[in-house]
Amino acid sequence: MEIRIKKTNQSRLPHVDLSNIPFGRVFTDHMFIMDFDGEAWRNARIEPVDKLRIHPANLTLHYGQSIFEGMKAAKNEEGVPLLFRPEMHAKRLNASARRMCMPEIEEEFFIEAITQLVDLERRWIPDMDGSALYIRPLMFATDEFLGVAPSKKFTFLILTLPVGPYYTEPVKLLASDQYIRAAVGGVGEAKTAGNYAASLFPSELAQKQGFDQVLWLDGVEFKYIQEVGTMNIFFVIGNQIITPEPNGAILKGITRDSFITILRDWDLEVVERPVSIDEIVDAYDNGTLKEVFGSGTAAVAVNVKQITYKDSDLELDLSKASIADRLKQEISGIRHGSIDDTRDWIKPVLEQVQA
């Protein structure tokens, strides 16, 4: 399918300070958008970002049939934007689509759409080290009908946003024994809107108590650790690095997968298995818990400085933490092209569209 391009005649770029961008609020000039008419994706186009007209009975607004992705393009030394593992994001979008009764998108076309949009918006990618273009693909139902049934029509769009170096302070987590994010058999493995809506209230409660985020436990026994916010989680216990095994309730992060691969390439032992919160408390008590960190596209790796569970406050000694830092440097280096891409994770966006 050909992608029609309608360019803005008034770029907002001259009015944007790329060295100081609030995350999530500044969009580039254009978006990719196409429609599914019940049979096929049609009318693929890149056009100026604008408001959408939505009918009040739009199915997404009422029943949440909506999925998304989050990825980044960073520039290398020569200024070429590099996509990081775009085919993995295409596969995960399609896995989310299947779970939510939505149409899939051909992997190559998904990558082509992103490539053309990033190509057109390349001037929006900040030069500063650690900066990038955040890419947000989104698919949602567009039928206008009040009934709980899968939509026949959908819209798929891609927004791009310049983002600065994303540094996060080490975080304090509250392991909740009251609220859950997702249960086995539910939609926790899909990047679908409702999961994030479900997390808002417990996260707000945790924040009022002085925590940064909730550490989610399983929905049956409140025992096994799942993940945190929009990050997967890793524990360094003794000489092992342990991360919860995806069981259908955990989002399968692409950063998670990259970390596991890199750690094994470094000859470190990584184990994917169920991890209970009691095991973490015990490891803390007997001094073998060395480091805890989260993984995700936005911040890459975030150190955890405290986990609170019931009456236990586990305060982690960050001077012992080194693995998260090493991983962050490795992934950032690969994404920016300063470390050799030996695993074929990088796809450069060469100049095609007429600027």
Ligand X SMILES: *Cc1c(COP(=O)(O)O)cnc(C)c1O
Q: How far is the CB of 296 from ligand X (least distance, A)?
A: 4
Q: How far is the CB of 70 from ligand X (least distance, A)?
A: 6
Residue 299 class from Cβ within 10 Å (0-12 exposed, 13-18 middle, 19+ buried)?
Answer: middle
* Residue span 70-99 as binding mask against ligand X, x where in contact by CB under 6 A, dash where not: x-----------------------------
CA distance 81 to 200: 34
Task: Out of 86, 202, 246, 253, name the contact with ligand X by CB under 6 A.
Answer: 253
Verify binding: residue 118, ligand X, rule CB under 6 A: no
With a CB cutoff of 8 Å and minimum separation 6, the contacts of 154 are: 35, 36, 102, 103, 139, 140, 141, 142
Residues 162-201 that bind ligand X (CB under 6 A): 191
Task: Out of 65, 155, 176, 255, name the contact with ligand X by CB under 6 A.
Answer: 255
With a CB cutoff of 8 Å and minimum separation 6, the contacts of 286 are: none
Q: Which is nearer to ligand X, 81 or 229 (CB)?
A: 229
Task: Out of 125, 215, 231, 321, name the contact with ligand X by CB under 6 A.
Answer: 231
Choices 5-13, 17-25, 151-159, 254-262 (CB under 6 A): range interacting with ligand X: 254-262
Q: Which is nearer to ligand X, 122 or 191 (CB)?
A: 191
CB atoms within 10 A of CB 313: 11
Alpha-carbon separation of residue 84 from 47, 67, 75, 171 (angstroms): 24, 20, 11, 26
Would you tell me the crossing angle of helices 323-335 and 254-265 to the nearest 10 degrees? 110
For residue 69, which phi and psi values (nearest 5 degrees)? -135, 165
DSSP character at residue 90: H
Binding residues for ligand X, rule: CB under 6 A, are 70, 191, 227, 230-232, 251, 253-256, 295-297
